[in-house]
Amino acid sequence: MLWWQDHLTGTGGLRVDRVFTDRLGGVSSGAMTSLNLGGNVGDDPVLVEENRGRLATAIGVPRERLVLMNQVHGRDVQIVTSAMPDPGACDGTVTTSVDLALVVLVADCTPVLLADVDAGVVAAVHAGRPGMTGRIVNVAIDRMRQLGGRRLVAAVGPSVCGRCYEVPAQMRDAAQQVSPSARAVSWTGTPAIDVAAGVVQQLHERGVEVTWVPGCTRESHDLFSYREDQQAGRQAGVIVLRTARA
């Protein structure tokens, strides 16, 4: 279930938990086997809800504290609170509320988890190719700074790697103009884009310390990949701000 996890502890009595899931440990079947967390990919809603409940249990929050976006490949980032946890259509969420689990769902796109644990502000961002070229991480950083975030750190999760993301040359050139690090070459020598590398470059340009978690969604059988199977489910990146445990 958990591909990667870590914890950050600040100086002000707060803690941040960060998690990237894989496709294991759920109840879905077929192309969705087994921990599909996506609700709009053709899976049985009852099974998706069971999977989401298992995720909530694994990270130690009530199911109703999972904050799920209606992701639309845009660059809108919403601030959410315990009183108003539904972000609607957007591709990033930010909160200063304790025990709200911000969730980003992916199946090749790049999940980004941002935090300033001392300031008590966290964010989850969905950065596909449109999000990377639209610099959605900059929007999220600006929202966090509005809420007092200063010393930000990021965890960038598994996504489709540059070798596996073949695109037309014109599309690669457009991505490269935004972030030169996104320029890539596929396994067969054709033009490709490394979305995560572009996102990491943008984070570094804003002074954000980055932990880049290994894993290519198309190359690993333990991760969902839309490029590999268009009926694929969705894994998640999750970030939770908590009161530090004794």
What's residue 246's pLDDT? Answer: 39
25-40 pLDDT, tens per residue? 999 999 999 999 999 9
Between CA 125 and CA 214 the distance in angstroms is: 18
Beta-strand relationship, 66-68 and 14-21:
unpaired
144-158 pLDDT, tens per residue? 999 999 999 999 999
Is 49 strand, coil or helix?
A: helix
3-state secondary structure labels for all residues of 111-153: EEEEEECCCCEEEEEEECHHHHHCCHHHHHHHHHHHCCCCCCE
Other Cβ atoms within 10 Å of 72 Cβ, number: 13
Q: What are phi and psi of 16, to 5 degrees?
A: -125, 130
pTM over cut 0.95: yes
85-115 pLDDT, tens per residue? 899 999 999 999 999 999 999 999 999 999 9
Cβ(84)–Cβ(61) under 8 Å? no
90 to 43, 86, 124: CA distances (angstroms) = 22, 10, 11
With CA atoms as reference, report the closest residue to 132 among 180, 82, 186, 185.
180
Local structure of residue 23 (DSSP, 8 states): S
Q: Which domains does the chain have, with CATH numbers?
A: 2-243 (3.60.140.10)
